């Protein structure tokens, strides 16, 4: 049962001393989650109450199925923006249809995550490299910030997922700015930032929400055009079946796959970083996919849109002392009490305050340090980051992530097609063989023996490069060359195309009277050498564990033994 219900791993050993810590952490996260959830729902284009719905059942589901002890699940800014970007491309005519599609999208995302988890395909997230994620996240953060200008300025700005369009639309509407909305939002930003700098434990978001409600109510600012949240439905979310439609599911598929992978990446990254801080390793990658999938699928039936792990709330959860996912139950209780009894208190909450919460929250997603570090030592990956950033910013969210992934894969293929190829020599006074270009002053190089190392798997994409580099170095040695040693320590895999190439190259060398040896091959590589027929051309005597052994064998070969071995190899080849 523990395989399917991870909470059974910690609940039997639950320490009563943990209760108070989980309670404090849960209440803290729950209080912060209320305004954040409503704010993020606005990013997704949904009524604020749907942010509270997304903060209820999904948290309970994750507490049961999740494997991280401190991860806080719920609505987040990035996924909310992706929801808005994905649904904006569809022909949706009414608010009810938009909500229905958002809930169906959550179900689809959950189904994809659950399926990937059951198939143990968590490795797919590895194709989202850090440069792609950094460029995408920074661009998306800017889009989110500028999408909130409509609430900060108090004007109706046409929505868009392109930064340049948002900027132009906002500039056109600036003369119509409501100064009251602008002042409220600006003060909210200043207060949140200031309190965070004074002490991160001060709930600045909650303070701004309370202050904003009181100011708007006492001064009756709606009469001056201040935009407020208005009436929020009271009560827990009701069960709602989805209207399953094949055409709708096909339309949602691209954004659903993106959300499933991005959401999983966010959650697993946050969970792993928290584990590094606590030293407690409990996360199972595939079970996390199942947990997130279950949270999204079950939540969607109770009016929740897409959820994943939140970095800010997870950090607060850990700092507040959360020991187990029991903290999530307490956070859910806070949200439930709010939905049942406290929603009327948010009637006068100004939209500008929610905008200020969003702007401050996502500003931290803009990563400047990482691109600067790439500029120092990995300009190729910086190129991928910048292109992803620009495409996301000026072409679209989905386009940015897709082009970024394709670029990173192309870069990986290019690098693997031309890996490091080194000529080795013996370090003077030792039995170690190192790259002659790196240890040129202390390396002994022989004219009659060529020792090379190929630092990659050998496959169809780089076999020609390997052959070209090998023949080039053989030609440099000239007529004095008598033997070649391939150090295969770094070759972890040889595919069938590369095996045939290597077999032909060995035969060509033997025909020219050159000896060929392989040293340092790992177990899987040795298996391939035998199973692919390379050994038929090589001869078992020419396969060594260490380069030194191959060199000693070569040195002890007499001209007569070399000739007899050449004849033996020729006869063996003819017999095959």
What's the residue count for the chain? 576
Task: Let me know: does 451 contact 416? Beta carbons within 8 Å.
Answer: no
CA-CA-CA-CA torsion for 326, 203, 75, 123, nearest 10 degrees? -70
CA distance 142 to 40: 15
pTM of the model: 0.79
Task: State residue 333's pLDDT score.
Answer: 96
Distances (CA, A) of 503 to 61, 257, 575: 56, 43, 15
Q: Single out the residue of 134, 170, 106 nearest to residue 400, CA to CA.
A: 134
Please give the helix or strand (H or E) that residue 216 lies within, else none.
helix 204-219
Q: What is the pLDDT of residue 270?
A: 84
As a whole number, the mean pLDDT across the chain is 88
Among 231, 233, 212, 232, smallest CA distance to 221 is for: 212
Do residues 556 and 548 make contact, with C-beta atoms less than 8 angstroms apart? no
pLDDT at 44 over 60: yes
Higher model confidence: residue 137 or residue 329? 329
For the stretch 368-417, pLDDT in tens is: 989 999 998 888 899 999 999 999 999 887 788 889 888 988 988 888 89
pLDDT at residue 562 greater than cutoff 70: no
Widest distance between CA atoms in the chain: 106
What pLDDT band is residue 574 in, cutting at 50, 70 and 90? low
Report residue 97 as tokens.
């249809």
Long-range contacts: 229-233, Cβ < 8 Å, 24+? Answer: 229/38, 229/48, 229/346, 229/347, 229/348, 229/349, 229/350, 229/351, 229/354, 230/347, 231/347, 232/47, 232/48, 232/49, 232/52, 232/343, 232/344, 232/346, 232/347, 233/49, 233/343
Run of H or E residues at 517: strand 515-519
Summarize pLDDT for 52-72 with one digit per residue, the tens. Answer: 999 999 999 999 999 898 899
Choose among 321, 350, 394: nearest CA to 164: 394
């Amino acid at each position: 049962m523990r395989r399917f219900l991870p909470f059974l791993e910690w609940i039997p050993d639950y320490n009563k001393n943990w209760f108070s810590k989980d309670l404090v952490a849960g209440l803290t996260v729950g209080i912060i989650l209320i305004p954040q959830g409503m704010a993020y729902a606005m990013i997704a284009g949904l009524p604020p109450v749907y942010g509270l719905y997304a903060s209820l059942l999904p948290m309970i589901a994750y507490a049961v199925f999740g494997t991280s002890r401190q991860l806080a699940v719920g609505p987040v800014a990035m996924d909310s923006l992706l929801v808005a970007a994905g649904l904006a491309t569809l022909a949706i005519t009414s608010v009810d249809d938009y909500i229905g599609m958002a809930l169906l999208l959550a179900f689809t995302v959950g189904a994809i995550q659950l399926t990937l988890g059951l198939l143990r395909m968590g490795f797919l997230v590895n194709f989202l490299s850090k440069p792609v994620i950094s460029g995408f996240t920074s661009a998306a953060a800017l889009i989110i910030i500028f999408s909130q200008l409509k609430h900060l300025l108090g004007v109706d700005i046409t929505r868009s997922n392109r930064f340049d369009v948002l900027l132009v639309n906002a500039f056109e509407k600036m003369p119509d700015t409501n100064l009251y909305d602008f002042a409220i939002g600006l003060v909210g930003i200043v207060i949140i930032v200031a309190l965070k700098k004074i002490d991160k434990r001060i709930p600045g978001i909650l303070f701004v929400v309370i202050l904003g409600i009181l100011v708007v109510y006492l001064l009756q600012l709606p009469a001056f055009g201040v935009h407020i949240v208005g009436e929020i439905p009271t009560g827990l979310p009701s069960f709602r079946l989805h209207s399953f439609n094949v055409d709708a599911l096909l339309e949602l598929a691209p954004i659903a796959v993106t959300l499933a992978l991005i959401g999983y990446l966010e959650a697993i990254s946050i969970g792993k970083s928290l584990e590094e801080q606590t030293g407690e390793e409990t996360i199972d990658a595939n079970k996390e996919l199942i947990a997130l999938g279950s949270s999204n699928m079950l939540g969607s039936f109770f009016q929740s849109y897409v959820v994943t792990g939140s970095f800010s709330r997870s950090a607060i959860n850990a700092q507040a002392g959360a020991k187990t996912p029991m903290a999530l139950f307490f956070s859910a209780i806070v949200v439930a009490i709010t939905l049942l009894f406290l929603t009327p208190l948010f009637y006068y909450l100004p939209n500008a305050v929610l905008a200020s919460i969003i702007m401050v929250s996502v500003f931290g997603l803009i990563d400047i340090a990482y691109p600067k570090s790439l500029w120092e030592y990995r300009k190729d990956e910086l190129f991928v980051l910048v292109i992803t950033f620009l495409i996301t910013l000026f072409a679209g969210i989905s386009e940015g992530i897709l082009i970024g992934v394709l670029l990173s894969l192309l870069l990986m293929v290019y690098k693997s097609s031309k890996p490091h190829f080194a000529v080795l020599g013996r370090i003077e006074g030792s039995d170690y063989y190192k790259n002659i270009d790196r240890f040129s002053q202390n390396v002994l190089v022989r004219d009659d023996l060529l020792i090379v190392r190929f630092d990659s798997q050998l496959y169809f994409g780089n076999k020609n490069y390997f052959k070209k580099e090998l023949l080039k170095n053989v030609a440099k040695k000239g007529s004095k060359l008598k033997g070649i040693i391939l150090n295969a320590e770094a070759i972890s895999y040889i595919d069938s195309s590369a095996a045939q190439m290597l077999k032909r190259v060995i035969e060509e060398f033997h025909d020219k009277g050159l000896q060929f040896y392989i040293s340092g091959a790992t177990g899987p590589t040795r298996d391939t050498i035998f199973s692919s027929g390379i050994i038929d051309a090589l001869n078992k005597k020419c396969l060594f564990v260490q380069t030194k052994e191959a060199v000693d064998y070569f040195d002890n070969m007499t001209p007569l033994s070399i000739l007899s071995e050449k004849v033996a190899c020729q006869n063996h080849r003819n017999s095959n």
